[in-house]
Amino acid sequence: MKIMKVKNYDEMSDAAFQVMKEVVSENPNAVLGLATGSTPIGLYERMVKDYQEHHTNYAKCQSFNLDEYIGLAQGHEQSYFTFMQKHLFKHINMPKEHIHIPYGNSEVDCQAYEKALDQVQVDIQVLGIGSNGHIGFNEPNTPFTKETHIVNLMKKTRQDNARFFENDIDQVPKQAITMGIASIMKAKKIVLLASGEHKADAIATMVYGTKDPICPATVLQDHDDVIVIVDEAAASKL
């Protein structure tokens, strides 16, 4: 696990963009594993700016998102589908049919997503981290062997995400569909981003803790190409 400490959110986003740009420039057919949430927004802004200025070509790229809420229509303003359109997809030339975002609430939906993932290898997987150590929506105590599955979101995660739902936890969906930890670990390269003091404990546990499903991100200790890009606050317990 390579740790890159940077000053702040902007520097974290710059560094993440450099890694992404290298992957996409070297391989026009790159498969991008993408995350939502506050953390990767700066990365997506830089990808959009770069696309506008340098016409980086995404025509042959594909993308696979980590997760989606259950119970929100795709067009809901807080769905991850809407998030990705708004922050990235409507601004770049990745064809619609190359974009994959899990959707649905059944085992069949999970298997269909996993089957699509099985057709490719993700070249670069972008991850954020939950303050409880989750990656994707794999909450603490999720077995490392899980593929795409349905999860019950923990109260802590729903509280953390209530800021997107008028600070009202009751509006935050209780379930999500997520790529599993086994699915995430198949990526060739993983870039985990974290910014802010509220991530410091999770980052310290991920780096120094025993590999254990109680902190899902500790599984990354076993992956041979992980770059962790953390700002000073998120790195404050390293």
Q: Which residue is nearest to ligand F6R (CB)?
A: 128
Q: What character string, x for contact with ligand F6R (CB under 6 A) and - otherwise, covers 104-133?
A: ------------------------xxx---
Is the Cα torsion angle 58, 59, 61, 65 positive or negative in sign? positive
If binding means CB under 6 A, how many residues of this protein chain bind ligand F6R?
Answer: 14
Catalytic residues: 67, 132, 134, 139
Q: Are 220 and 234 in contact (CB under 8 A)?
A: no
Alpha carbon distances (Å) from 140 to 135, 170, 212, 229:
9, 21, 9, 22
Work out how close the CB of 57 gets to ligand F6R at its nearest, in angstroms, rounded to a whole number. Answer: 25
Alpha carbon distance 189, 225 (integer Å):
5
CB of 24 to ligand F6R, least distance (A): 20
Is the CB of 129 or the CB of 235 nearer to ligand F6R?
A: 129
Q: Which is nearer to ligand F6R, 27 or 41 (CB)?
A: 41
CA 56 to CA 59: how far, in whole Å? 9
Taking the complex as a whole, how short is the minimal distance between the CB of residue 54 and ligand F6R, in angstroms? 26
Site for ligand F6R in 1-40 (CB under 6 A): 35-39
139 binding ligand F6R? (CB under 6 A): no
Residue 75: CB minimum distance to ligand F6R, A? 18
Q: Which two tokens stand for residue 53?
A: 């200025």
State how far the alpha carbon of 202 is from the alpha carbons of 32, 96, 208, 209, 228, in Å: 24, 35, 10, 9, 12
CB-wise, 23 or 151, nearer to ligand F6R? 151
- Within positions 45 to 84, which residues make up the interface with ligand F6R, using CB under 6 A? 66-67
**Candidate segments 2-10, 16-24, 43-51, 135-143, binder of ligand F6R by CB under 6 A:** 135-143
DSSP string, 117-154: HHTS--SEEEE---TTS-BTTB-TT--TT--SEEEEPP
Strand order in the sheet with 67-69: 67-69, 175-178, 149-152
Q: Which residues bind ligand F6R (CB under 6 A)?
A: 35-39, 66-67, 128-130, 134-137
